[in-house]
Amino acid sequence: PTTVVLFTRDLRVRDHPALSAAAARSDAILPLFVLDPAVLGRSARNRIAYLRHALADLRASLRRRGADLVVRQGDTVTETLRAAAEARAEAVFLSEDVSLTARQRVRRLEGARIEVRTFPGVTVVPPLEITPSGRAHYAVFTPYWRAWERREWRPAVEPPERFALPPGIAPGPLPDQDLDRSGTGSLSPHRLTGGESHARRRLNTWIAEGIADYERYHDALGAAATSRLSADLRFGCLSPLEVASAAGACEGGVPYIRQLAWRDFHHQVTAAFPDIARRDYRPRDARWNDDEGALAAWREGRTGIPVVDAGMRQLLEEGFMHNRARLITAAFLTRELRIHWRRGGDHFHRLLLDGDVADNYGNWQWVAGTGNDTRPNRRFNLLRQARRFDPQGDYVRRHVPELARLDAADVHTPWRLERTPPGYPAPLVEIEGGVSRPR
Using the rule CB under 6 A, is 234 a contact of ligand FAD?
Answer: yes
* Residue 115: CB minimum distance to ligand FAD, A: 32
Q: Which of 67, 327, 382, 411 binds ligand FAD (CB under 6 A)?
A: 327
Q: Which stretch binds ligand FAD (CB under 6 A): 64-72, 164-172, 351-359, 414-422?
A: 351-359
- DSSP conformation class of 172: -
3 state SS of 165: coil
Q: Per rule CB under 6 A, is residue 260 in the interface with ligand FAD? A: yes
Q: For the CA atoms of 136, 139, 141, 143, what is the dihedral angle to 10 degrees? A: -50
The radius of gyration computed from the CA coordinates of the chain, to the nearest angstrom, equals 23
For residue 124, the one-letter residue type is V
Binding mask 375-404 for ligand FAD (x = CB under 6 A): ------------------------------
Considering only CA atoms, which of 329, 325, 340 is closest in space to residue 394? 325
H-helix or E-strand containing 33? Answer: strand 28-35
- 49 lies in the binding site for ligand FAD (CB under 6 A): no
CB 278 within 8 A of CB 322: no
Interface residue with ligand FAD among 11, 179, 367, 431 (CB under 6 A) is: 367
- In the complex, least distance from residue 62 CB atom to ligand FAD, rounded to whole angstroms: 25
Nearest approach in angstroms of CB 289 to ligand FAD is 18
When asked if residue 262 is in the footprint of ligand FAD (CB under 6 A), the reply is yes
Is residue 315 at the binding interface for ligand FAD, with CB under 6 A as the rule? no
163 or 364: CB nearest ligand FAD: 364
Read out DSSP for 420-436?
PPTTPPPPSEE-TTSS-
Residues forming a β-bridge with 71: 33
User: Binding residue for ligand FAD (CB under 6 A) from 57, 96, 196, 356?
Assistant: 356
Identity of the residue numbered 3:
T
One of 14, 52, 202, 263 touching ligand FAD (CB under 6 A): 263
Among 363, 365, 370, 436, binds ligand FAD (CB under 6 A): 363
Assess 355 for contact with ligand FAD (CB under 6 A). yes
Q: How many residues bind ligand FAD (CB under 6 A)?
A: 27
Edge-to-edge strands of the sheet including 70-73? Answer: 70-73, 28-35, 2-6, 91-95, 115-119
Cα(229)–Cα(211) distance, rounded to whole angstroms?
Answer: 12
Which value, to the nearest 10 degrees, does the dihedral of the CA atoms of residues 403, 409, 414, 419 take? -90
Could you say whether residue 184 binds ligand FAD (CB under 6 A)?
A: no
Residue 268 binds ligand FAD, judged by CB under 6 A: no
Neighbours of 346 (CB within 10 A): 16
Give the DSSP letter string of 240-297: HHHHHHHHHTSTT-HHHHHHHHHHHHHHHHHHH-TTTTTS-SS---------HHHHHH
Q: Is 281 in the site for ligand FAD (CB under 6 A)?
A: no
The residues, ordered by sequence, that sit 6+ positions from 101 with a Cβ below 8 Å of its Cβ are 39
Q: Which is nearer to ligand FAD, 363 or 436 (CB)?
A: 363
Question: Binder to ligand FAD among 364, 380, 389, 395 (CB under 6 A)?
Answer: 364
Q: Does 323 bind ligand FAD (CB under 6 A)?
A: yes
- Least gap, CB of 108 to ligand FAD (angstroms): 26
If one asks whether residue 309 binds ligand FAD (CB under 6 A), the answer comes out as: no
| Chosen residue from 97, 359, 390, 402 binding ligand FAD by CB under 6 A | 359
Residues contacting 290, CB < 8 A, separation 6+: 339
* Minimum distance of ligand FAD from residue 206's CB (angstroms): 8
Nearest to 354 by CA among 218, 199, 214, 156: 199
> At closest approach, how far in Å is the CB of 224 from ligand FAD?
8
Give contact residues for ligand FAD (rule: CB under 6 A): 218, 226-230, 233-234, 259-260, 262-263, 266, 323, 326-327, 330, 348, 352, 354-356, 359-360, 363-364, 367
